[in-house]
Structure 1
C-alpha cells in the first residue's frame, strides 16, 4: 500500500485515497531499479536544502501530514503567499533552523519511475567541510550549486576539488536562483565559463551545467519557459539518465575484505564480508593476503542459499577448500592477480580535526576491515584550493588538504584510491579520544616499502634476557620539569646495579646532546623526540636490558605509542607526580623563570600542556616521600 500525495493547481498537495497495490509487485518493481547516490554541495545559502526539498516534492515523496507541517512551518518563517519553503523539509536540526545553515549531512531517499536516489545534503560553511567529505565518500555524482547572484566562490572551488579528489566523476553545475537575476543568460554563461576554467585546472574534464530555480522549480522536473535559451535536460532527467559505471567494480579483480570469521559450529568455517570488486564462483583459485596463502573457493553461502556466482556489492560468506589461516582484516583475492601489500605510502589527506596534525604521532588507521597503527610524516605540501598551488606546510589544520607520507606498523592490503575506494580510502582515528581526525586516499606505496625487509636473527630476545637472568622492562618516568625524574631514576639504577641487574638509563637532557640534538621543543618535535627514544628503548629490551627513561613526555598519545611497541607487561609507566607550584619553586635549571618571562617558548606546564597519566603502573607523590623512598618503592614494585 502506497500513501502518497499529488500536486494541485495551487502548488500544494492533496491527500489521495489509499492506493491498493500488491506489495510483492510494488517491492519487486522498485528492487530492480538502478540506484544513484549523489550529493548537493556549494557555499552557504546557495539553496542546497531547498533543491532537495523541491526534488522530494516533485517526485511525490511527501506524505500529506508532512505537507501540512511544511505549509505551517513556511508560514511561521514568513514565506509569502502560498509559497513553500522547501528547505524546511531537510533542515531538520534545531540548530540548523536557528542559524539558517545546514551543519550536518542529511540523507534523503526518493524515486522516479526509472531510478532510485539517495541524496546527501552536505554543509556549505567552511567549518563543516569534514561533513561534506563524509557525504561525498559514497556518492556517484555531485550537484555543485552556485548562487547566480554571487557566482563561483571559495567553497564552490573547495567542494569541487574535494568531489574530484574523492573520485566523483559526474559533476552537475546547478546555477541556482536564476529567478533572482531575471533568468539572464549572459549571467549564467559567465558563471559557467568561470567554473570551466577552474574545473579544467584541477582535472575535471567535463561537467553538465543547468540553470535552475530550486524555489520556483525551473528546470528541476519540468523545463522552464523562462529559460528558452537553455535546450538541455532538466535536473531530474539528467539524474535519471546519467550513466554510472556500476559494472566497473565487477570487471576488476576479485577482492573480499574479511569482516568476520563465521564459525557457528565445529563443522563450518566461513569468511564473511562484502565483495569490493570482481566476481567469484566455486572452484576459483584465491589468495589470502597479507599472508599470501592460496586455496580455492568451496562454497558461496548466503542467507537465501548457496550461489553459483557472486559479484561486487554482494555480502557473502566464502568457505575454502583448505584449512588456512584467515581472519578479520585479511583480504581474499584472485590468486593470480592479488592486490599489493605495503607499510609505507604517499597519501592525500583531508584534515578534519580542530587540533592540528602532529607529524610523527601515532594514530589508528582504518582501511576497510583493517586497523593498524600509523604515523604521518611532515606534509610534503598542502593544496590551496583557490589556486591549486602546492604550499609548504609543517602540519595540517582543520579543513586543510595535503600530501604526506604515511607509515603503518605492519603491511596492509591496499590498492591506489584511483583504482579502488574500498582498498584505497582510509580514516585516521586519535588513539586517546577515539575521534576521527582525517580522511585520506592512498596514492601509491613507496619504493622503500618493498626494498626493506625484516632480517631473521638467530639469537632471540629471550636468549639475551636469559643470559642476564632477568626480565626486560622499560621504566618510563614522566612528570613536569623539576619533578625529580632524573634524580629518582638515577637512584633506581644504582639500586638495580647493586642487585646485579643489567640496566641502562636514558635521560631527557642527555639524548638531546646526541641522538636528538636536531630537535626543538615544538609539539611536533616533542612527538619525534619520544618516538626516537621509544625505538631505542625497545631495541634495548631486545638485548635483555632493564631500560630506565626520564623524560617529561607530556602527551598521553606518545606514551601510549611507546607502550604499544613493547611486549605486554614490559612497559611500566612511572608518574612522578609533583604539583606545578612545587616543581616551579625548585626551578633548579632556571627554566620556569625564563618561561614566565617569555624567553623560553613551548615550556611544559606554562605555555605547553602536560597530560598526566590516567592509569600509571606506579605513581610517586613527591609531596609525601623523599627521593630515596620513591626509589625503594619503584624497585620493590619492579622485582615483586
Structure 2
C-alpha cells in the first residue's frame, strides 16, 4: 500500500481558490414560482433549498422545531416554512409578499422568488416576475388548471418570460396517475396557445415527496423528460441571448474623477462592445468610437451584456445620465408618445391626464397617461370578452394605454429589450410607485411632429419687455377671491408698465375648454391645457396670471414641471370653506348642497391645499387690495 499523499497548505489554498473562482464564475438564473393558492410553491422552494444543502444546521434545527409546532401532515419537515418568513403568512398558511431565496448547485447559482397566489397580490407577483429569466408555474394535480394558473401564465407571457415550466405538483395525491397528468397538460396547452405562448416544459412533481425535483422518481416511469433542477441548470439565461443583440448601455453616471478622464458608466443591457467600435449617443445622435473599456479590475478587450463597465470615447460628445450608448448603425428609437401595457399597483386608481414621473432605465421624465383603450380581463385573457371598456385602472388591473412624455426618450419594445422597454410610474406627490408598464411601439404621430427651432428666443422676448417671465398661479376654493385678487395684481403690474395676461377659469371655459366638464379627468385636462398656454405665454416673455381652483396637487405640480425653473409661483388664496360658502356670489354652493351640482370642490369633490406655496394670502384678514400689494412685494424685482 502506498503512503497517503498529504497536501501542503499551499496546495490546499490553491484548491480553495480554484473552488471559489469556479463558484464566482457560475452563471446566474433568476426564476419565480407562481400559480394558485396552496399549489405548493413555498414547499417546492423549501425542497430545493434543502436538497441543495443550502440550510445551516441551526436553521435546520429551528425548521424542525417549527414543523413540529405547526403540524406537518406526517412529514418530519414542513419545507414551506423555509420561505414563508412573515408571521402573517405562517398564521394563515399563505404567501403574501414576494420572498427571495438564494441557492446554488455545482453548475449554476439561483435566485428564486416565491410569489403570492392570491389575486389581490398580483402587483407582488409582477414585481417578482419583472427580473426573472424563468417561471415555474405550479398547478395542483387534484385541481388542474385554475383561473389563477391562467392569470399568472398570462402575466409571465406579458412580462416577456420566455422559459416557462408547468410543474404539475402533488402527483403523490393522485397516485401518480398518468391519464390525469396528460389531461392537465392538454388543458394548459390549449390555453397557452390561445394567448401566444409557443413553448413550455411540463414536469410531474411532488414537492413534499421530492419526486422529479432533484432526482428522477420511480413513481413516474412513464415520464422521460428532465427533472426540475436539471432543467433549471441547463436552460439559456437572458444574458446569453442578449449578447447576440445590438449593443445598448443606459448611462447611469458620467465618471469624471479629473480633467484627463471622462467615462460613461452603466450596465450593458444587450450586445457586446470592444475598443474601436463606433457608438451613437441618444437622444443627441452624436457618434464616436470606443477608446477604452474600464473596470475595477483593469481595462477589458471586450465587454458583454450583464457587465457593469465604464466606456471612454475618442471624442467629447453630448452624453449624460439618462442617455443611451448604442451601436451607431443600429440605434434604438427615440419618441415621446407610445402604446403601452400598464399594470396598476396603487390603491388610488389611475386618473387619465394626471402627471406622473416615468422611470425608464436611468431616464426620468414627466408623463401623462390617456384614458385606457381597454382593460385586459386577466381571468379570461383568451376569451371573446378579454378586452373590457374602462375609463381608469384600479389596483391590480391591467390595461392598454397611450403614454405621452414631456421629452423624447430612448426605448425599444419590451418584447425585444426589457431594459429599454420596461418602466415604472411614480406619483409626483407621494413618490409611491403606482404602476409598471411595458412599451409596445411609438405612435406614428410622435415621429411626424418635430420641434421647429426659431431664431428669436424666449430670452429675447423677455428682454424686449424688460422683465422676467412669471406664472402667478392663484389656487383656492370657489369664492375664495382668486379672480378678484388676480385682477388687482394685474392692474398694479400694468401701472408698473409690465406686460401681463390674466387667464381666468370661467373665461377659459367659454372657449379653449368649452368641451370639458367637471369630472376629475376633465378638471385635470382643463389644468393641463392652461399649463400649456401659460408656458407659451412665458416663452413670449409675459407675466401670466391664472385664477383656477386647480384642486389637485399633482396637477399643479404638472404645470410647475412644464414651466422653466423659478418662473412658477404658486399663490394659495387660503379662505376657509365656511367663509367661501357664505359669500357664494354665484350661488354654486347652494346648488351643490341641494345635489343639483355634482363634483363641486369642497362639497363632493376634494380640494388639496398647497403644502408649501411660494405665497399664501388670507382673505379673511386682508382686503383684495392689501392681498395684491402683499403679492407684488413678494414677486419684486421682476427683472
Look up the match of 1:562. Answer: 559
- CA distance in 1: counterparts of 2:588 and 2:220, whole angstroms: 72
Look up the match of 1:108. Answer: 101
Look up the match of 1:4. Answer: none
User: Secondary structure of 1:116's partner?
Assistant: strand
1:20 Cα shift?
A: 10
| TM-score, normalising length: structure 2 | 0.94
Look up the match of 2:576. Answer: 579
Q: Which of 491, 504, 513 is the equivalent residue of 1:507?
A: 504
1:80 Cα shift?
A: 4.0
Once the two structures are superposed, the pairs formed by residues 172-321 of structure 1 within 5 Å of their partners are: 172-244=165-237, 246-321=239-314
On the 8 A contact 2:239/2:305 being kept in 1, the answer is: no
- CA distance in 2: counterparts of 1:512 and 1:616, whole angstroms: 25
Look up the match of 1:415. Answer: 412
Are residue 344 (structure 1) and residue 341 (structure 2) matched?
no
1:147 Cα shift?
A: 2.0
- CA distance in 2: counterparts of 1:504 and 1:462, whole angstroms: 18
Q: Which of 419, 423, 426 is the equivalent residue of 2:423?
A: 426
Write out per-residue CA displacement over residues 519-572 of structure 1, whole angstroms, 9 at most, x where no aligned residue: 122221111110000101111112222211111111111111111111222111
- CA distance in 1: counterparts of 2:125 and 2:181, whole angstroms: 25
- Cα 1:462–1:139 change in 2 (3 A) is same
- CA distance in 1: counterparts of 2:346 and 2:433, whole angstroms: 8
Look up the match of 1:451. Answer: 448
1:265 Cα shift?
A: 1.6
Look up the match of 1:379. Answer: 372
- Cα 1:297–1:93 change in 2 (3 A) is same
Q: Which of 620, 628, 634 is the equivalent residue of 2:631?
A: 634
Greater Cα offset, 420-429 or 629-638: 629-638
Look up the match of 1:435. Answer: 432
Write out per-residue CA displacement over residues 247-267 of structure 1, whole angstroms, 9 at most, x where no aligned residue: 321111111211111111222
Look up the match of 2:542. Answer: 545
1:81 Cα shift?
A: 4.2
On the 8 A contact 2:553/2:609 being kept in 1, the answer is: yes
Write out per-residue CA displacement over residues 361-411 of structure 1, whole angstroms, 9 at most, x where no aligned residue: 111111111111111111111111233222221111111111111111111
- CA distance in 2: counterparts of 1:376 and 1:440, whole angstroms: 11
Write out per-residue CA displacement over residues 68-92 of structure 1, whole angstroms, 9 at most, x where no aligned residue: 0001001111224452111110011
Once the two structures are superposed, the pairs formed by residues 2-41 of structure 1 within 5 Å of their partners are: 22-41=15-34
- CA distance in 1: counterparts of 2:79 and 2:63, whole angstroms: 8
| TM-score, normalising length: structure 1 | 0.94
- CA distance in 2: counterparts of 1:458 and 1:316, whole angstroms: 41
Write out per-residue CA displacement over residues 93-129 of structure 1, whole angstroms, 9 at most, x where no aligned residue: 2222233222222111222232222111111122221
- CA distance in 1: counterparts of 2:310 and 2:608, whole angstroms: 45
User: Secondary structure of 1:480's partner?
Assistant: coil
The gaps in structure 2 that reach 5 residues or longer are 1-11
Greater Cα offset, 601-610 or 302-311: 601-610
Are residue 163 (structure 1) and residue 156 (structure 2) matched?
yes
- Cα 1:483–1:79 change in 2 (3 A) is same
- Cα 1:83–1:599 change in 2 (3 A) is farther
Look up the match of 1:52. Answer: 45
Are residue 137 (structure 1) and residue 124 (structure 2) matched?
no
- CA distance in 1: counterparts of 2:597 and 2:192, whole angstroms: 47
- CA distance in 2: counterparts of 1:216 and 1:35, whole angstroms: 27
Are residue 359 (structure 1) and residue 356 (structure 2) matched?
no
The gaps in structure 1 that reach 5 residues or longer are 1-18
User: Secondary structure of 1:226's partner?
Assistant: coil
Look up the match of 2:521. Answer: 524
- CA distance in 1: counterparts of 2:611 and 2:236, whole angstroms: 54
User: Secondary structure of 2:299's partner?
Assistant: coil
Look up the match of 1:85. Answer: 78
Write out per-residue CA displacement over residues 588-613 of structure 1, whole angstroms, 9 at most, x where no aligned residue: 22222332333322222222221111
Are residue 484 (structure 1) and residue 481 (structure 2) matched?
yes
User: Secondary structure of 2:502's partner?
Assistant: strand
Write out per-residue CA displacement over residues 312-353 of structure 1, whole angstroms, 9 at most, x where no aligned residue: 111111111112222111111112222111111111111111
User: Secondary structure of 1:474's partner?
Assistant: strand
- The root-mean-square deviation of aligned C-alpha atoms, in Å, is 1.8
1:154 Cα shift?
A: 2.4
- Cα 1:243–1:307 change in 2 (3 A) is closer
Greater Cα offset, 122-131 or 493-502: 493-502
Once the two structures are superposed, the pairs formed by residues 597-608 of structure 1 within 5 Å of their partners are: 597-608=594-605
- CA distance in 1: counterparts of 2:581 and 2:380, whole angstroms: 49
1:43 Cα shift?
A: 1.7
User: Secondary structure of 1:227's partner?
Assistant: coil
1:466 Cα shift?
A: 2.8
Are residue 150 (structure 1) and residue 143 (structure 2) matched?
yes
Are residue 475 (structure 1) and residue 505 (structure 2) matched?
no
Look up the match of 1:98. Answer: 91
Look up the match of 1:13. Answer: none
Look up the match of 2:69. Answer: 76
Greater Cα offset, 305-314 or 20-29: 20-29
Write out per-residue CA displacement over residues 145-177 of structure 1, whole angstroms, 9 at most, x where no aligned residue: 112233322221221111111111111111222
Look up the match of 2:608. Answer: 611
- CA distance in 2: counterparts of 1:174 and 1:638, whole angstroms: 67
- CA distance in 2: counterparts of 1:91 and 1:279, whole angstroms: 40
- Cα 1:499–1:265 change in 2 (3 A) is closer
On the 8 A contact 2:98/2:113 being kept in 1, the answer is: yes
Are residue 61 (structure 1) and residue 58 (structure 2) matched?
no
Greater Cα offset, 214-223 or 397-406: 214-223
